[in-house]
Amino acid sequence: MVEFIIYTLIMTAIFAIVALSLNLQAGITGLSNFGQAIFFAIGAYTSALITLNGLPFLLGLFLGMVLSALFALLIALPTPGLRDDYWAIVSIAAAETLRLFINNERWLAEGPFGLRGIPRPLEALFGTGYNWFYLVLSLVCLAIVFIAFELLIQSPFGRKLRAIRESEAMITALGRSVFRYKIVTLMISGAVAGLAGSLYGPYLTFISPEHFAPVVTFMIWSMVIVGGSGNNLGVILGAFVITLFNLSTRFVKDWLLLPTDLLAALRTLSIGLLIVVFVLLRPQGLIPEKRRSLLRVTRESLVTERKEKQSHAGGGKRK
C-alpha cells in the first residue's frame, strides 16, 4: 500500500509539472497546445540517451530542457502570427510527426521497442529506500516549478501574458510584440515539460513512443481543465485527481470480469466524460483562477503611502 501511495505521488508530481507547463500556455496566455506530450517525450528521450551512454543525469536533464525549448521554437516560428487556432493545429501535427518518426526509426532510440534500462540517478546511494528519494526529488522539482511560475505570472512579463489572453490589440498598441511574448512562453513551457520528461524516464526505467501518444496530451489537458485552468494550485490538484483515477482503476480488473483492453478503453472514455462534465458544469475547475494583483509587498507599501498622503492632505496643506 505504501508503495502504491509513493508511486501515485511521484507520478502526480511528474505529471503536475507537465500540466503546469501546459497551463502557462493554455490557461495563462490562451494558447491551445494539443501536442504537449511531445515536449515531455523530448525531455525523456534526450535524458535517457545521455544517461544510457554513461553521461551524468544532470547533463541529460539540462539537454532535455534545452532541446524541448528549441523544438518549441522550431515549430512556433513558422506558425502565422502564432494565432491560437493555428498553434493548436501545428502543435498536434508536429507532435505526432516526431512521435511517428521515433516509432519508425531503429538507429537512435530502438523505435517501437523503446529504451530499456535507463539508469537511475544515485541509485547505489539509496538502495532500498530509493523510491522515497525519488519522491523527494520530484516534489522538490514540482515546488521549484510552481514557485517560479507563480513569480513569473505576477511579474511584468506574466502580466503581459494574461493581457494577451484577453486582448492582443491592447499589447500591440502599447508597443510590444505579441509574437515575441508567445514564442518565449512556448519555449519556457517546452523546457519545463522537458524537465518532467527527464524525471519520468529514469523512474520507469523504460520509455517507448506509446508513453507519449496523443491520449497522454489529453490526459494532461484533463488535469488542467479539472483542476482549474489558470490556477497553478488547481492544476496540481487536477494532476493528483487524474493520476489517482488512472492508477487506481487498474485494480478494477480484479473485481470486474471484463476483458482488459475493454477496461483500458473505458478508463480513457471516462476521463473524456469527466472533461465534458467539467466544461459544462464547472468550467472554472475545482479551484478557480484566483484574482491576481501586484506582489503583496508592492501593494502594502502603496497602501501606506496612500494613507500618508491622506493624512497630509487632511492637515490642511496640499502640494
Partner 1 sequence: MLVVENVNKSFGGVKALRDISLRVEKGSLIGLIGPNGSGKSTLFNVITGVLSKDTGNITFKGKRIDHLPPHNIAAMGISRTFQVPQISRRMTVLENMLLAPMGQIGDNPIRVFVNWKAWRNQDRTLAERAEEILELVGLIRQSDELAGSLAGGQLKLLSLAVALMNDGELLMLDEPTAGVDLALTDQIMGYLIQAHGQGKTLLIVEHRMRVISGICQYVYVLDAGEVIARGEPSEIQNNPQVIEAYLGSKKKVKV
Minimum gap (Å) between residue 41 Cβ and partner 1:
24
26 contact partners, CB below 8 Å, separation of at least 6: 32, 33, 221, 224, 229
- CB nearer partner 1, residue 183 or residue 244: 183
Q: Which residue matches cell numbers 479539472?
A: 226
The site for partner 1 (CB under 8 A) is made up of 148, 151-152, 155-160, 162-163, 165-167, 169-178, 184, 188, 289, 291-295, 297-299, 301-302, 305-306
Minimum gap (Å) between residue 76 Cβ and partner 1:
15
Minimum gap (Å) between residue 26 Cβ and partner 1:
15
Minimum gap (Å) between residue 135 Cβ and partner 1:
26
- CB nearer partner 1, residue 119 or residue 158: 158
- CB nearer partner 1, residue 84 or residue 289: 289
- CB nearer partner 1, residue 177 or residue 248: 177
Minimum gap (Å) between residue 186 Cβ and partner 1:
12
Q: Where are the alpha helices (DSSP H) in the chain?
A: 2-23, 37-52, 57-76, 84-104, 123-126, 130-154, 156-166, 168-173, 178-204, 214-227, 232-248, 252-255, 260-281, 296-314
Print the SS3 string covering 83-129: CHHHHHHHHHHHHHHHHHHHHHCCCCCCHHHCEECCCCCCHHHHHHH
Residue 110, sorted as left (phi over 0), alpha (psi -120 to 50) or beta, turns out to be left
- CB nearer partner 1, residue 162 or residue 267: 162
Classified as helix, coil or strand, 69 is helix
